Structure 1
Amino acid sequence: MNAHVGSASAAPPNMTEALRAEAAIEPDAPIIGEVKKQTQIIAIYGKGGIGKSFTLANLSYMMAQQGKRVLLIGCDPKSDTTSLLFGGKACPTIIETSSRKKAAGEAVKIGDVCFKRDGVFAMELGGPEVGRGCGGRGIIHGFELLEKLGFHSWDFDYVLLDFLGDVVCGGFGLPIARDMCQKVIVVGSNDLQSLYVANNVCSAVEYFRKLGGNVGVAGLVVNKDDGTGEAQAFAEAAGIPILAAIPANEDIRRKSANYEIVGKPGSPWASVFEELAEQVAIAPPLRPTPLTHDGLLGLFKGEAVGRGVVLDPATMEDMCGTEAVTKPSLEVVYEGA
């Protein structure tokens, strides 16, 4: 279809005057006043089983009791981030809900995937069943759906993202790689494996900072702290602060196993999470200094990590379980070659 488009000069006199009048209107002056709050989006990483979900459930609960608007998003395929918050009850995940609604020809609503307890808003991204898909791709799909649900227009003081630190594929590095958060917090303990993961996260942050990224590490939360000091030594060497040290305590372990929140105001452990909430709010995103593998091993006593072990190269006899027979070469060698 062809349409004739007229110019302003060819427009009737009354339209020309209207266009001129519209062009003469000055734009609104920039608003000068108190800056509106900015949501702090914080990604929490750590080794599987180190206590990220325990830490986040209690931290988010304490923040909500302090009057903050908090959204907790579980980004672990195990979908266990919110289980402690909801007393052990499973929260329907975004991925499974999306699949079910799509099959039924229905749209996902916020009430299908987001739930509340005592001021904390929480949801789980979820992931595919074992052997049936990529967990990292599931994370990406989950965030795509969050955007459709209006994620960028939600009004929260804090959005806490619980990410598995053992896995290094793209989806789990999304907040760091795409500047989706302002800062990262690492949960670790006084053991080599959890600090190895913490060091990997610091390495990822440093890598993307070199590429122009803006995410930094706010600090380390030491969970199950037994006082041996390796986690503190790591934080000092990496140039990041200790935000809180949660002691290795039987009462905490027992209550956590029973899906009880220990970070309630007035509880015996309230001060730990009050301090953590304060530090999380004010800790700046720092550029860490990741350790080399030998540097990481150096934080531990030799008998604890097996230093001094010599790498003994294998031979062909070892591989074949018998003596290897050296066969003559069939290569043709020409004179003067």
Structure 2
Amino acid sequence: MSAPDDGVSAIPLSQLTEYLRMEAAQEPDAIATGPVTKETQIIAIYGKGGIGKSFTLANLSYMMAQQGKKVLLIGCDPKSDTTSLLFGGRACPTIIETSSKKKLAGEEVKIGDVCFKRDGVFAMELGGPEVGRGCGGRGIIHGFETLEKLGFHEWGFDYVLLDFLGDVVCGGFGLPIARDMCQKVIVVGSNDLQSLYVANNVCSAVEYFRKLGGNVGVAGMVINRDDGTGEAASFAQHVGIPVLATIPANDDIRRKSANYEIVGRPGSQWGPLFAELAENVHNSVPMRPTPLSQDGLLGLFSAHSTGRDYVLTPATEFDMCGKTEIVKTSLEVVYDNV
């Protein structure tokens, strides 16, 4: 056995046990009791891929910054597209990519290597591995480990917005919920079954970790590309969460977003919508949702749309093999009662 290489290596092994006992007996630093000078709201936004999370967050973060708030937007999607709208379509160097390059060069990652700003919004991308070359969830975990080394818990932001892909259910993507890394979760959905399926899964994850003692709650839902059919609003009502904003399916929004234009600017046509969303996000309360069952989720839509009235017909041996099922005698040994 050798002594650990952390300052105690010079101590003889015979004295190491006593040294460790003395160290363990030291009183920890007193708990801070002074006034809280900065309270950061850390909010994780989940939704189906392509549902408009990045669009919502880019415009929301921009509006918050214009209202005088200090905002950090962190993309946690392996596609690394969260900040593309904010930066006019330009790709932002990711933490994972930068960390790998710096490690090969024997250098440390600095905040200026991975964090960039525009009009008061600070933004970065965690990134992910190349296709087929690693686990996206593990990449998220590695990214947050790097953020902690950069001083994540000491940064003085009013809001930290985390953009997570809701389709993926592995551990890395559930990190904020599982480890209480955020106070609130917001789901982005639309009036379609798949996006509400993802939103329901996120609510189920929150409820699961609440049963294990977690504190994260769902603050509400943003309905994007609303066509007026009402399924998303009905979902929010059934699971017990408020609708924070309803963004219409509008060609002007679609066209401007496709051209990497921020629509949530003060004084613009859509400015009031995102100003109201910013206020609702600030005032929202983390709630414990009531996830729907599969049948309950299908019940939000017409039977014609989902085919939920279809009756399941069991397959037979003839269907599978083209021959009549052969009943085989059991080889079980049955003993008479003595």
Q: Shared fold (TM-score greater than 0.5)?
A: yes
Paired with 1:29 and 1:91, the residues of 2 have a C-alpha distance of 38
Pair 1:331-2:331 in alignment: yes
| SS of 2:315 mapped into structure 1 | coil
Identity across aligned pairs (percent)? 78
CA distance 1:153–1:233, change in 2 (3 Å): same
Aligned to 1:183: 184
Question: So what's the TM-score if we normalise by structure 2?
Answer: 0.88
Larger Rg: 1
Aligned to 1:51: 52
Paired with 2:45 and 2:334, the residues of 1 have a C-alpha distance of 64
Paired with 1:232 and 1:301, the residues of 2 have a C-alpha distance of 15
Paired with 1:117 and 1:103, the residues of 2 have a C-alpha distance of 30
Structure 1, gaps ≥5 residues long: 5-26
Pair 1:254-2:228 in alignment: no
Deviation, 1:335, is 7.4
| SS of 2:167 mapped into structure 1 | coil
Paired with 1:227 and 1:252, the residues of 2 have a C-alpha distance of 16
Listed as ranges, the matches of 1:187-266 within 5 Å are: 187-266=188-267
| SS of 1:67 mapped into structure 2 | coil
| SS of 2:185 mapped into structure 1 | strand
CA distance 1:328–1:47, change in 2 (3 Å): closer
Aligned to 2:25: none
| SS of 1:141 mapped into structure 2 | helix
Structure 2, gaps ≥5 residues long: 1-10, 16-29
Listed as ranges, the matches of 1:25-36 within 5 Å are: 31=34, 35-36=36-37
Paired with 1:325 and 1:244, the residues of 2 have a C-alpha distance of 57
Paired with 2:334 and 2:125, the residues of 1 have a C-alpha distance of 69
Listed as ranges, the matches of 1:1-337 within 5 Å are: 31=34, 35-320=36-321, 322-324=322-324, 326=326, 329=329, 331=331, 336=336
| SS of 2:90 mapped into structure 1 | coil
Paired with 2:32 and 2:302, the residues of 1 have a C-alpha distance of 64
The AA in structure 2 aligned to 1:244 is: A
The AA in structure 2 aligned to 1:294 is: D
Paired with 1:205 and 1:333, the residues of 2 have a C-alpha distance of 49
In the alignment of these two chains, the number of paired residues is 312
Paired with 1:101 and 1:192, the residues of 2 have a C-alpha distance of 43
Deviation, 1:149, is 0.5
Alignment RMSD (CA, Å):
2.0
Paired with 2:207 and 2:314, the residues of 1 have a C-alpha distance of 34
| Runs of 4+ in structure 1 over 3 Å off | 1-4, 27-31, 327-337
CA distance 1:311–1:85, change in 2 (3 Å): same
CA distance 1:35–1:303, change in 2 (3 Å): same
CA distance 1:336–1:233, change in 2 (3 Å): same
Question: So what's the TM-score if we normalise by structure 1?
Answer: 0.88
- 1:224-261 Cα distance to aligned partner (Å, 9 max, x none): 01111111111111110000000000000011111110
| SS of 2:297 mapped into structure 1 | helix
Paired with 1:179 and 1:335, the residues of 2 have a C-alpha distance of 57
